[in-house]
Structures are given as C-alpha cells and as structure tokens.
Amino acid sequence: MLGLYYFNWAGTPEEFKEYIGRMKSICDGIEGVEFKGLFTPTSEWHFVFLVEFTIYEKGLEVLKTYRKKYGSAKVALAKAEILHTPEEFGITL
C-alpha cells in the first residue's frame, strides 16, 4: 500500500532539510515501511512524501512517531492519502 503525505512547508530551508532527514530516519526505523521519496506535485501542494507500507498501522506509525519525538512540524497545511491495490480489496483483475 502506498501513502502520500502532501504538505505546504512553513519553515526555513534549514528546518526543511532537518525535517526530511527525520522523516527518512523514522521510516528506516519501522519494519514494513519504505520511504520512496520526496516529490513536488503539479498541484497546490508544495511537496509530497511517498511511502510504501505493509499495513495501514505502519503508515500511521510514521506520523505518530514524528509527533511523539519532535512535536508538530512547520507544516502550514497537510493531507494524507492511501492508495490500495485492487487485490488488497479482494478484487481480481
């Protein structure tokens, strides 16, 4: 399953680099989670993290771990989406 975490950054460039490093580190520390990258979407969002995880709870653990360790990030607005495969819903194509 893929998780997309869209966000608009509200901090400094140095804080942004630190934030990216922290998120990568958290993903690396959770079994069943793989950080796929940081992207700039062609939408109103500044950035989007792409993360692959084995179960929903693993994806949620990434965000919970960040908040527990570091508090709130300097994100003005954010949105999370989860992309499921048809097979995960029991649909065979």
Does some domain include residue 4? no
Summarised one tens digit per residue, pLDDT across range 58-76 is 999 999 999 999 999 999 9
Instruction: Supply the pLDDT for residue 49.
Output: 96
Q: Would 3 be classed as within a structural domain?
A: no
Q: Is the pLDDT reported for residue 10 higher than 90? A: yes
**Full domain range(s) for residue 46:** 11-86
In this prediction, residues 28-52 reach a mean pLDDT of: 96
Task: Map residue 93 onto helix, strand or coil.
Answer: coil
For residue 6, tell me if it sits in a domain. no
**Residue 34: count of CB within 10 angstroms of its CB:** 14
Confirm whether 2 is domain-assigned. Answer: no
pLDDT of residue 3: 95
Residue 31 is predicted with a pLDDT of 97
Could you give the CA distance from residue 76 to residue 8 in angstroms, rounded to a whole number? 5
Q: Which CATH number characterizes residue 49's domain? A: 3.30.70
Whats the size of the chain, residue-wise? Answer: 93
pLDDT grade, residue 48 (50/70/90)?
A: very high
Q: Are 77 and 84 in contact (CB under 8 A)?
A: no
Count the domains in the chain: 1
- Sorted by sequence, the CB contacts under 8 Å of residue 51 that are 6+ apart come out as 2, 3, 5, 27, 33, 34, 35, 36, 59, 62
User: Going by C-beta distance under 8 Å and a sequence separation of 6 or more, which residues neighbour residue 28?
Assistant: 35
Does residue 5 sit within a domain?
A: no
**Residue 34 domain-assigned?**
yes
